[in-house]
A and B are shown apart, each in its own frame.
Chain A
Amino acid sequence: MGDPVTVTPAAADLIRSLRGRHGPLMFHQSGGCCDGSAPMCFPAGEFRTGSSDVRLASLEVEGVPEPVEFWMSTSQWELWKHTTLTVDVVPGRGSGFSLEAPDGLRFLTRSHLA
């Protein structure tokens, strides 16, 4: 079984760029309607994780000095845990309070059977 979360080169580029502008980062995978099922990227600590969350990965991204934690709610992970996730990036028009939206880009979670 591979890493539960990986990032594509394009997503790594965007993470490096956002890190340069916003400081240390984190992800929380969303669920529900509208922009649900998308990974939300915040300044580290902006979104308060708690006992209802699980940290799936501490992503090592070249050029980013600290690991980027990737979180999901535990109840959602119960339904997702037979899959691995790849954080990719596509042209897009915003989503929640995620940091990359003003760049005209959206992080996108692609999934694979573990």
Chain B
Amino acid sequence: MTRYEAPDTYQSRYDHFIGGEYVKPHHGQYFENPTPVTGETFTEVARGTAEDVERALDAAHGAADAWGRTSVADRALILNRIADRMQENLESLAIAETWENGKPVRETLAADIPLAIDHFRYFAGAIRAQEGSLGEIDDDTVAYHFHEPLGVVGQIIPWNFPILMATWKLAPALAAGNAVVLKPAEQTPASIHYWLSLVADLLPPGVLNIVNGFGVEAGKPLASSPRVAKVAFTGETTTGRLIMQYASENIKPVTLELGGKSPNIFFDDVSAASDDFLDKALEGFTMFALNQGEVCTCPSRALIQQGHYSDFLAAAVSRTEAIKQGHPLDTDTMIGAQASNDQLEKILSYLDIGRQEGARVLTGGERADLGGELSGGYYVQPTIFEGDNSMRVFQEEIFGPVVSVTSFADLSDAVKIANDTLYGLGAGVWSRDMNTAYRAGRSIQAGRVWTNCYHAYPAHAAFGGYKQSGIGRENHKMMLEHYQQTKNLLVSYSTQKLGFF
């Protein structure tokens, strides 16, 4: 094991990054940023307002035209160089991200940062390979279709994967030739600035602008501005609707990723042998604790078929109890701290209502006090509830290390329970019979159905929601078109008039 020291890479204060340089907030105010690991403040960050957003939009509009006309080869090269810098600094980025968010460093080292690096490379390749199209309408007439950047886009980033989620939005937007004004979450405003310290010199001034601050003070002026051509948001439903309302005033598109209540379905044949596959499925069950459950696709409903219910669940409880909770900067630690105090309080409120509704706690169910300097941090025991799909702990995204388990009789019962939710972002299906797995996967109303795997997020696999889980598909080249206009040139090669006039 390795136990990293608290990072010394952070500055004591961060301003806004606008037009290629750091500028002080218009009102001169800052807010404190604590690490969830200990609850102690480690930096302060500019408290942005509408004036700062306007300044950032000025810079972005000044840069957008030239950036949009930069050749795709040059834009791709810059994205690849960003990836290279991140690769060279992978360890320090991972430590910074863990200190910011509270997640275990084994995840930031193996997932968050490597995935972000690959994401920049993927969109560097995708934009090089993207082609317009032409349609031959008739012998004299051709319809050419060009991709053009939207111009200036606004992006509002969540706190659960601060660098990776920023990358999911930045890489396609920049590849497509847009200038960006980005607002990080106020819970995790700092790690993006450490990332920026590594790559800022690679981008022309004004192409990427970062305005920090609170949603109501900085996010709202960005989302409601008539000067952004599109808004991308990851978060919850009420803010998602509000952003759509603002966008409707300006007739602008949005992409939204608003979470889910993802079912993870284990058919009887999973337990047909005690082998590697069963071991993998039990790990798949335990994935509800990945990132402390703060994942939009947390497999927070486990549906286990009746034939192996008792045996599989007993093994799953054992697997969950083997999760090592500890200091997030220890590479042996499997689960770290929740990202903020209010998040901790919300999870505890769900542990309360789950019990009130009669759900049985099979393991966990309490706040965890890890002692020493970690006593001030925000830790929760991995928790398994057993109950019924109508209970609120089965219907709402708790965003904590909490899974609610129920049984099902057969394929149609599994699909019925899986789809009995307002959301449709992720799902998992586990079976040795690929016909069963295929039928289940096609019947579940969710944008991503992991089949005999879970929580894999490779670039080039589309990610997005059905139902109330949002609009758009990230993580795939199709996201480029969410950041592009289609320009049609309809060209006549005939010299003859129509004869109407």
Contacts and interface: CB of A to CB of B under 8 A. Distances in A.
Contacts of A58: none
Contact of B349 (A96, A102, A110): A110
Contact of B399 (A36, A79, A94): A36
A99 B219 CA distance: 12
B353 A35 contact: no
B118 interface: no
Interface in B409-444: 422-423
A73 B397 CA distance: 15
A97 B395 CA distance: 24
Interface stretch (A6-14, A25-33, A59-67): A25-33
Contacts of A97: 215-216, 219-220, 223, 239, 242
Contact of B397 (A31, A79, A102): A31
B268 interface: no
Interface in B437-494: 468-469
Contact of B185 (A38, A76, A94): A94
Contacts of B257: 33
Given A34-B259, A37-B398, A93 B215 contact: no
B158 A93 contact: no
Interface in A33-68: 33-38, 40, 42, 46-48
B305 interface: no
B342 A34 contact: no
B87 interface: no
B340 A32 contact: no
Contacts of B116: none
Given A47-B241, A108-B345, A36 B215 contact: no
A34 B238 CA distance: 11
Interface residues of B, number: 54
Nearest to B257: A33
A50 to B, nearest CB: 9
Contacts of B234: 33-34
A79 B423 CA distance: 13
A95 B469 contact: no
A79 to B, nearest CB: 5
A90 B395 CA distance: 24
Given A91-B341, A97-B215, A102-B217, A31 B468 contact: yes
Contacts of B390: 79
Contact of A30 (B237, B341, B345, B350): B237
Nearest to B241: A47
Given A30-B239, A38-B236, A108 B346 contact: yes
Given A73-B237, A92-B342, A33 B399 contact: yes
Contacts of B216: 97-99, 101-102
A93 B341 contact: yes
Interface in B372-418: 390, 392, 395-399
Interface of A: 28-38, 40, 42, 46-48, 73, 75-76, 79-80, 83, 90-99, 101-102, 106, 108-113
16 contacts: A31-B236, A32-B468, A34-B160, A37-B346, A47-B238, A95-B215, A96-B238, A96-B239, A97-B219, A97-B220, A98-B216, A101-B214, A102-B216, A102-B217, A106-B345, A110-B349
A-B pairs with the 3 shortest C-beta distances?
A33-B259, A92-B342, A32-B259
Given A30-B237, A47-B245, 19 more contacts: A30-B238, A31-B236, A32-B240, A32-B258, A34-B235, A35-B236, A36-B397, A36-B399, A37-B236, A48-B245, A75-B468, A90-B341, A92-B342, A97-B239, A98-B216, A101-B214, A102-B217, A108-B346, A111-B356
